[in-house]
């Protein structure tokens, strides 16, 4: 017999076995016992919290011939044949989301049940139905035959039209408490004779984020990975997550301003192919746990067992945690469209160190202001100016290049000699920017370049694209120092220009249009301030266009 996954083997068969949804169970169980069964239900909530399981239990209960004390008997014909009954229809809306499938369902609902009292239709991930499919379902959902019950389940209830949800009894399923997950996992381990340490169980519960199915699946993976005692390290190895100890060490490095350790950590992530988005999510959850621990009067058993939470809560105040959560959350949204997410993560962590150092400096200045005589203020300002002199030297060169005057010329010149080969050569060394984020002379340039992507590269010119207009403007205001840094990295003098994502779309479309018409971009000298002219060429330039911007962007007529 083939192996049966643990989450399927231990799927609850009645409401007593269902974990963590007591309020939902109480209402539905009472309604069934009292014969007040609705014709349609809408279950919403996070994944793995029991929505589909509850739907199946309802289907089993309403068709049981000898229901007792709100429990299906388990011995009648309908209970025994429940798993193979033709009267229980499960539909995956993710793969059957068209109007034709719903019309077919609508035609079949009038057929009476074969052996059962009710035909129960369980539509999972109902939010995936198309608008036309929802419209086809409306009338049937509002006035179904007496022998039909609809149970809709979704993780995204806001995508279900109000015209549909208003015709259903709605139940919200919540994330399952970690302690209840641990309790259930211990029951399974006892029956399956699985040896596992308590701290490993607690970590499984934490990583599952309130989803019991995810927790049982991870336990199943661990049993396949190791036959003897399962430890906390085994959980991290199998799940590919970062341990609390590593996250703790990262925060300590931030606290101590240890930039080298942080750079080494991010570089290691980059080399090992670590999913940066997943790491940020894990760090956000960790910071949330720290925040809850610091502000909770009563600690849960899991919190009491975690010594790291106690240690980290002593080292960091709430303001820093708020700052990091806010920054990491913004980074998580930005990183989805970034070409170099590891660079953005590194810059974010280094900015956190800078924030912490500035915060400490503010405290120190406030302290000295309170104890020193007022006539010493000039001396303090002089010390502050001396401390920031290297930064001032860099910023003084901001306006050496009038980028507005040469912007279109540089865009033109980048396109005039651009090729994929030049672009790929630049991208290969782009991560070298990492090495300059701690350099006093080039940390500003490295920080600005971290938020950009090289999009077009010619022999001497380069177009950088930044997501926001403000970022592009700031780069263009610091062209001198940025070009100096690129000269060091590539041993070549590049003339660069930065544009926003919106501007890039306009320039790319203009380029495509011009080249398809047979116009050629010619190099223009900035010193001579030449007028931009496109020359008509006889041969087609489609091959050049494909090489630069990709065949998928071209329409042939």
Answer with the one of 299, 327, 356 that is the final residue of a domain: 356
Q: Are residues 271 and 296 in the same domain?
A: yes
In a domain? residue 225: yes
Q: What is the mean pLDDT of residues 444-458?
A: 83
Give the domain range for residue 30. 6-172
Choose the most confident range, by mean pLDDT, from 151-165, 370-384, 536-550.
151-165
CA 413/CA 421 separation, integer angstroms: 16
In a domain? residue 372: no
Q: Are residues 161 and 148 in the same domain?
A: yes
Q: Are residues 292 and 194 in the same domain?
A: no
CA 10/CA 17 separation, integer angstroms: 9
**How many folded domains does the chain comprise?**
4
pLDDT for the residue 549: 57
Q: Are residues 533 and 467 in the same domain?
A: yes
Q: Which residues of 445-466 are buried (b: 16+ CB within 10 A; e: fewer)?
A: bbbbbbbbbbbbbbebbbbbbb
Instruction: Report percent pLDDT > 90 for the chain.
Output: 7
For residue 103, what is the domain's CATH number? Answer: 3.40.50.300
| pTM greater than 0.85 (yes/no) | no
In a domain? residue 518: yes
Q: Are residues 132 and 253 in the same domain?
A: no
Answer with the one of 209, 239, 269 that is the final residue of a domain: 239
pLDDT for the residue 303: 53
Contacts of 409 (CB under 8 A, 6+ apart): 524, 526, 530, 532
Say whether pLDDT at 528 is over 60.
Answer: no
Bridge partner residues of 366 (DSSP): none
Q: Are residues 71 and 152 in the same domain?
A: yes
Whether residue 279 contacts residue 375, with contact meaning beta carbons closer than 8 Å, is answered with: no
pLDDT for the residue 304: 52
In a domain? residue 384: no
Q: Are residues 449 and 548 in the same domain?
A: yes
Whether residue 193 contacts residue 230, with contact meaning beta carbons closer than 8 Å, is answered with: no
Say whether pLDDT at 378 is over 70.
Answer: no
CA 240/CA 235 separation, integer angstroms: 8
The pair of structure tokens assigned to 202 is: 């607690």
Q: Are residues 340 and 424 in the same domain?
A: no
Could you tell me the CA-to-CA distances from 532 to 395, 409, 521 in Å, in that order? 31, 7, 9
CA 208/CA 282 separation, integer angstroms: 11
Residue 355: pLDDT band (50, 70, 90) is confident
In a domain? residue 221: yes
pLDDT for the residue 301: 53
The H-assigned helical ranges of 399-468 are 403-416, 420-430, 443-449
In a domain? residue 97: yes
Q: Are residues 426 and 470 in the same domain?
A: yes
Q: Which residues of 291-315 are buried (b: 16+ CB within 10 A; e: fewer)?
A: bebbeeeeeeebbeebebbeebbee
For the stretch 396-408, pLDDT in tens is 444 455 677 788 8
Contacts of 223 (CB under 8 A, 6+ apart): 6, 192, 194, 230
Q: Are residues 454 and 339 in the same domain?
A: no
- Lowest pLDDT segment from 79-88, 417-426, 427-436: 427-436
Q: Are residues 154 and 10 in the same domain?
A: yes
- Lowest pLDDT segment from 3-7, 113-117, 327-331, 532-536: 532-536
For residue 197, what is the domain's CATH number? Answer: 1.10.8.60
In a domain? residue 381: no
Whether residue 228 contacts residue 195, with contact meaning beta carbons closer than 8 Å, is answered with: yes
In a domain? residue 362: no
Residue 381: pLDDT band (50, 70, 90) is very low
Q: Are residues 122 and 194 in the same domain?
A: no
Answer with the one of 156, 172, 188 that is the final residue of a domain: 172
């Amino acid at each position: 017999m083939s192996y049966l996954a643990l989450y399927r083997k231990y799927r609850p068969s009645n409401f007593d076995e269902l974990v963590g949804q007591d309020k939902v169970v109480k209402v539905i169980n009472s309604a069934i016992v009292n014969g007040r069964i609705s014709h349609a239900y809408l279950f919403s909530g996070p994944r793995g919290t029991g929505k589909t399981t509850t739907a199946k239990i309802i289907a089993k209960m309403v068709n049981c011939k000898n229901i007792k004390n709100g429990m299906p008997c388990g011995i009648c014909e309908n209970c025994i044949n429940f798993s193979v009954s033709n009267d229980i229809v499960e539909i995956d809306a993710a793969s059957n989301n068209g109007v034709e499938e719903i019309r077919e369902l609508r035609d079949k609902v009038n057929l009476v049940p074969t052996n059962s009292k009710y035909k129960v239709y369980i539509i999972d991930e109902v939010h995936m139905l198309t608008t036309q499919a929802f419209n086809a379902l409306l009338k049937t959902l509002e006035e179904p035959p007496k022998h039909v019950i609809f149970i809709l389940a979704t993780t995204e209830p806001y995508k279900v039209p109000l015209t549909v949800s208003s015709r259903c009894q709605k139940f919200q399923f919540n994330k399952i408490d970690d302690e209840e997950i641990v309790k259930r996992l211990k029951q399974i381990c006892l029956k399956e004779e699985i040896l596992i340490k308590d701290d490993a169980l607690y970590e499984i519960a934490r990583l599952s984020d309130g989803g019991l199915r995810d927790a049982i699946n991870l336990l199943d993976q661990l049993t396949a990975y190791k036959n003897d005692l399962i430890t906390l390290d085994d959980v991290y190895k199998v799940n590919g997550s970062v341990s609390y100890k590593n996250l703790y060490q990262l925060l300590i490095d931030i606290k101590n301003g240890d930039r080298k350790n942080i750079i080494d950590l991010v570089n290691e992530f980059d080399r090992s192919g670590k999913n940066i988005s997943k790491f940020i999510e894990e760090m956000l959850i960790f910071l949330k746990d720290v925040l809850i621990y610091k502000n909770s009067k009563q600690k849960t058993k899991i919190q009491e067992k975690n010594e790291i939470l106690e240690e980290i809560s002593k080292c960091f105040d709430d303001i820093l945690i708020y700052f990091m959560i806010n920054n990491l959350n913004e980074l998580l949204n930005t990183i989805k469209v970034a070409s170099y997410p590891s660079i953005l993560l590194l810059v974010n962590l280094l900015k956190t160190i800078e924030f912490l150092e500035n915060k400490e400096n503010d405290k120190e200045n406030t302290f000295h202001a309170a104890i020193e005589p007022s006539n010493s203020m000039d001396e303090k300002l002089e010390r502050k100016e001396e401390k920031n002199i290297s930064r001032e030297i860099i910023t003084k060169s901001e306006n050496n290049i009038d980028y507005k005057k040469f912007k279109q010329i540089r865009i033109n010149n980048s396109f005039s000699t651009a090729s994929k080969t030049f672009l790929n050569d630049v991208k290969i060394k782009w991560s070298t920017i990492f090495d300059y984020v701690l350099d006093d002379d080039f940390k500003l340039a490295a920080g600005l370049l971290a938020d950009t992507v090289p999009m077009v590269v010619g022999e001497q010119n380069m177009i950088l694209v930044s997501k926001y207009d403000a970022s592009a403007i700031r780069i263009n205001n610091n062209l001198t120092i940025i070009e100096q840094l690129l000269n060091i990295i590539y041993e070549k003098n590049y003339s660069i220009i930065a544009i926003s994502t919106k501007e890039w779309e306009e320039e790319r479309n203009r380029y495509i249009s011009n080249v398809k018409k047979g116009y050629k971009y010619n190099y223009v000298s900035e010193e001579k301030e030449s007028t931009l002219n496109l020359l008509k060429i006889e041969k087609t330039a489609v091959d050049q266009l494909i090489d630069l911007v990709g065949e998928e962007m071209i329409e042939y007529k």
